[in-house]
Structure 1
């Protein structure tokens, strides 16, 4: 009986420590509350089992949480800047900018190849998805164009 009480006390303290301490970045992006005007940004799921798919690394220069289960963000209306990653190629895509409108749903998808990511407005009010913006991988490396910086 004493062992069960000790285990329960240990688990209780462990739970308080894990939920009380945060692994969040200091300026980490936080979703806009549902009650406020917002747009939704999602990512099309990966096509293949070993493909990690598209990831949003930063949103408006704020890092996104690495504890998320899906690429799904409620963003404020106005200018949005996304830093995208895919697979093991972090910072490989140029930043993607667009102006979010309240009530709209935006979805990121690969273009014809994985070297291009396209942002579509897939709101219910539209008859078909509308292309909004695109980011290419081409000559982009480490947040700079290749001619601006040479990798080590």
Structure 2
């Protein structure tokens, strides 16, 4: 079964983008994932999510990463949830044009796994399994240590 997961957004200022969507559109922080010197933020409103990626304010030239375009203001990828990434890839066969993964994120959340695919028009589509929101206490503790 396939379910909507999120849209990944590239942000010049993650905090400003988070404030915008929480203040005006009813989102709240569901998870913060440390990556290098920064973090990726997941915002939730009901069953919809936004995934906020930090990017330099002015990248030198248009670039595309395996998980989507890296320009500020660009939609990085769209994402869906499934019960099994491996079963989906097996069912898709040659239609699965993998750009990244499958990758396991057990160091962040046990059972979290994802693969990124390119659709016929070149849009990157992430398909993941096992994601769960972070407990509120974990988010508060992380923010206090940043």
Answer yes or no: same fold by TM over 0.5: no
> What TM-score results when the alignment is normalised by the length of structure 1?
0.27
> What TM-score results when the alignment is normalised by the length of structure 2?
0.27
**Larger helix fraction of residues:** 2
Q: Which has the higher contact order (CA 8 A, sep 6+)?
A: 2
